[in-house]
Structure 1
Amino acid sequence: MKNLTFALLISLIIQGCAPQRNLVYFSNLPNSTNEKIQRAPELKIQKNDQLSVTLTSLNTDYNVLFASANANNSNTPVNGKAGFKVNNAGNIALPMVGEIKVEGLSLEEAQALIIQALKRQIKDPYVDLQLVNFKVTVIGEVNHPASLNVPGEQINLLEALGMAGDMTVFGKRENVLVIREEDGVRNMTRLNLNDKNVYDSPYFNLKQNDIVYVEPDKAKEKQVNPNQNLMPIISTLVSAAAVILTVVLR
């Protein structure tokens, strides 16, 4: 009987020593801190981006022409806004000026380039340029996985997770995968959201078309696979039977 009690005690100790999940974001952050904020990278225009180009000038006919072309060039308005699509050559085709190369430029650089082209035909044109299809995709162990339209020009990882309903308790906060494609190259990195140093990663501030994947932990895998749920029970029963058999034989 003493052997059986000892075996059960050892079993409880082993279960108590099982690794515990850290569900706290930035758990190594001190109670008070003063750190320099990392600036979000400047947005660069990419192929397949959708740009809203609004012209304001003294010539109302030109203004209407731009507004009409802006609407007609977009089959899928985003957030109620239409726009000119950046083609595979990295250009947008605008009324009166034709195709302009905008890929790789910031919005300010592209805006200045369009204004310079329009000045050849219009006096004192003003152009408002916006990216209307900035989206990121959040999948995996979050409450509301989705492709998220970003109402602005920047979003960080925490904001994207918040828009997706935050991670479930099964999401690995220490192993969040960010997938990014730039210049035809796919880059992937894993971020640890338990660590405050994640702020310093160039992947903390997301770019358009980034994909965030939250990996499930082993507890979720056991829920999905019933055979794995049975294994600990079977192992415990076998161990208990072995202990009982040893006691009886003695």
Structure 2
Amino acid sequence: MKKITLLNSLVCIILFFGLFGCAKRNLVYFSDIESGADFSTEITDFPEPKIQKGDLLKITVSSLSAESNLLFNAGVMSSTDDGRMMNAAVPINEGYLVDKNGLINFPVLGTIELEGLTKEEAIEKMARRLEEYVKDPIVNLQYLNFKITVIGEVSNPNTFTLETDRISILEALGLAGDMTEYGKRENVLIIRDEDGVRRAVRLNLNDKSILNSPYFMLHQNDVIYVEPDKIKAVQASTNQRTFAVLGLLVSVGVSLLFNLRFYLE
């Protein structure tokens, strides 16, 4: 009977350290690609980001007519040595805001609805409108507030404003300093607002199939949340865990010593 009691105490100690010990984690991205093996997949034509309410757009127009360029861009006229007029445009730092109705207010053209269009579609629409006033206009459109947010178990959680509208989830994690060892690579959450719908999708970055996911390339205002594993959750309650551990150790230690004493007698 004494041996059984002592055995029970030892089992409690083993279970305790097993519970609070480090669980084996897969920290390798695309771990299903075999080491030393080549892997290739066709590059997917990912959906392009669509212009949304609240987007800030830099739109510039160029043509053979310097006067028209001045008309449609913020800038001043300057002359060359041979008397030709050129447009010395000042960057439109403030940009054109897509309002709550999905419209921008552009010089001469007035209000134009751009919400729901890709950048290429918006350029084509602007060019068609401009052809009423200028021959062969060239339109350039750029996001000024294309931003993504990375939070959770990363080294540098933050909101990043980008100069490009093409960024993958891997690049976003790189901006945030990559995941910590507690980040669950198999369960990364993407929150996206699109077409009036807010979606939440979970991605497994241990799986190579993510390379063809429509969420591999990010859209403006996407939020990436890296979930912590259970060990991190336990560590978050440091004080409670400390008292619980001390109490359990004392209890197990007293029980072990008590039973060992009678076992040796």
The counterpart of 2:130, out of the listed 94, 109, 118, is 118
Give % identity. Answer: 43
Q: Is contact 2:6-2:259 (8 Å) kept?
A: no
Amino acid at match of 1:27: S
Taking structure 1 as reference, are residues 38 and 7 closer, same or farther at Cα in structure 2, changes over 3 Å only?
A: farther
Q: Counterpart in 2 of 1:75?
A: none
**How many Å separate the matches in 1 of 2:92 and 2:240?**
49
Checking the alignment, whether the CA contact within 8 Å between 1:4 and 1:244 is kept in structure 2 is no
In the other structure, the counterpart of 1:220 is 232
Give the greater-gyration-radius structure (CA): 2
Equivalent AA in structure 2 for residue 180 of structure 1: R
Find the aligned partners of 1:20 and 1:236 in 2 and give their Cα distance.
24
Which residue number in structure 2 is paired with residue 202 of structure 1? Answer: 214
CA shift for structure 1 position 141:
1.4
Other structure's SS at 2:60 match:
strand
Cα offset for 1:8? Answer: 4.3
Kindly indicate whether residue 25 of structure 2 is the aligned counterpart of residue 21 of structure 1: yes
State the TM-score, normalized to the length of structure 1: 0.85
1:229 matches 2:235: no
Q: Tell me which residue corresponds to 2:54.
A: 48
- For 1:81 and 1:214, the matched residues in 2 are separated by 33
| Residue identity opposite 1:249 in structure 2 | F
Is the contact made by 1:223 and 1:229 (CA closer than 8 Å) also made in structure 2?
no
Per the TM alignment, residue 89 of structure 1 is displaced from its structure 2 partner at its CA by 1.2
Secondary structure at the residue paired with 1:174?
A: strand
Distance 1:198 1:123 in 2: 45
Q: Please give the secondary structure, in 2, of the residue aligned with 1:130.
A: strand
- State the distance in 2 between where 1:123 and 1:80 align: 23
Q: How far has the Cα of 1:80 moved from its partner?
A: 8.6
SS of match in other structure, 1:155: coil
Partners of 1:80 and 1:245 lie apart in 2 by: 80
Aligned position for 1:76: none
From the superposition, tell whether residues 80 and 110 of structure 1 become closer, same or farther in structure 2 (CA, over 3 Å).
Answer: closer
Change (3 A) 1:206 1:58: same
Report the 3-state secondary structure (helix = DSSP H, G, I; strand = E; otherwise coil) of the residue aligned with 2:202. strand
Q: 2: CA distance between counterparts of 1:164 and 1:59?
A: 45
* C-alpha distance in structure 2 between counterparts of 1:142 and 1:177, whole Å: 13
- Identify if the C-alpha distance between structure 1 residues 115 and 230 changes in structure 2 by more than 3 Å, giving closer, same or farther: same
Structure 1 residue runs of 5 or longer lacking an equivalent are 70-78
Q: For the aligned residues, what is the CA RMSD?
A: 2.7
Instruction: Give the C-alpha shift of residue 11 in structure 1.
Output: 3.5
Alignment partners' CA distance in 2, 1:10 and 1:235 = 10
Report the Cα distance in structure 1 between the residues aligned to 2:135 and 2:211, rounded to whole angstroms: 46
- The whole-number CA distance in structure 1 between the counterparts of 2:212 and 2:17 is 37
Larger deviation: 116-125 or 219-228?
219-228
Mapped contact 2:9–2:255 kept (Cα < 8 A): no
**Contact 1:174/1:192 (CA < 8 Å) preserved in 2?**
yes
Q: Hey, what's the Cα distance between the residues in 1 that align with 2:218 and 2:6?
A: 56
Q: What is the CA–CA distance in structure 1 between the aligned matches of 2:186 and 2:165, rounded to whole Å?
A: 27
The correspondence for 1:104, drawn from 88, 101, 116, is 116
Q: Which of 255, 258, 261 is the equivalent residue of 1:242?
A: 255
More off after superposition, 20-29 vs 86-95: 20-29
Find the counterpart in structure 1 of residue 83 from structure 2: none
For 1:206, what is the secondary structure of its paired residue? coil
Give the AA of the match of 2:33.
Answer: L
Structure 2: how far apart are the matches of 1:20 and 1:14? 17
Residues 154 and 173 of structure 2 are in contact (CA less than 8 Å); yes or no, is this contact kept in structure 1?
yes
Paired residue for 2:151? 139
Task: Return closer, same or farther for 1:28/1:127 CA change in 2, 3 Å cut-off.
Answer: same
